[in-house]
Amino acid sequence: MENKIRIAVYDNLSLFVEGVCCLLKDRKDLEIIEIKNGKNLLFEWLKNNIADIVVYGGGSSSKEYFEFLEVKKSNNISAKILFLANSIDLKEIKRLFKAGASGFVVHKSSAHNITMETDVIKKGRVFIDSSTKEKIVLNICGEDSIENIRNAEENLTAREIEVMKYICEGHNSKEISEELFISVNTVETKKKKILSKLNVKNSIGVLKYALK
């Protein structure tokens, strides 16, 4: 049997911690640890225990998130960190990922975002909730581009959508060809068709997320 993923859920508010744990309780592949009595207890627990993922909801400002990442780094804590927040500036989100964050979800996100992030993060990839991805894409491309992409998505074939999924996960053409049992040339052809149909030149990973 595969080892369970250990997730420590922290917030200053007990009700919040209990709510997140309730969303995750049916996942048989997860071991959930509730921590709700202050940051110092969280730090001490992480120094003496191993967690795969920390769901951190206790920050009142981005400054607190950066301080937590610094403590994590200085104490060689290996856990991946998912931050939950009301809102945060896009530039700050970028800085958080550069500082070592593995995910970011706004409090108003759906329960699906909370449960899906564990699957994404445990594979070594970053996770951003759908509403934040939307803001990122709007910031990069503008509103007209977003509408064009949404309209074009229905023109993608099932195989093109499959290839696009792997592109968004950071796989290169060789890896995609191995996953889908097709040639590298076929993958490259699919990529060109995807870009053409979506009428974009780059940032395909970010753009795909905006369609979810």
In 11-159, at which residue ranges do the beta strands (DSSP E only) sit? Answer: 30-35, 53-56, 80-85, 103-106, 127-128
CA distance 3 to 5: 7
The amino acid at residue 210 is: A
Structure tokens at 28: 């048989």
Q: Inform me whether the pLDDT recorded for 47 exceeds 90.
A: no
> What average pLDDT does the chain have?
77
- pLDDT tens digits, one per residue of 73-119: 998 888 889 888 877 777 788 788 888 888 888 876 666 666 666 66
- pLDDT tens digits, one per residue of 51-62: 898 988 876 678
Beta bridge partners of 53: 7, 80
Question: What is the reported pTM?
Answer: 0.64
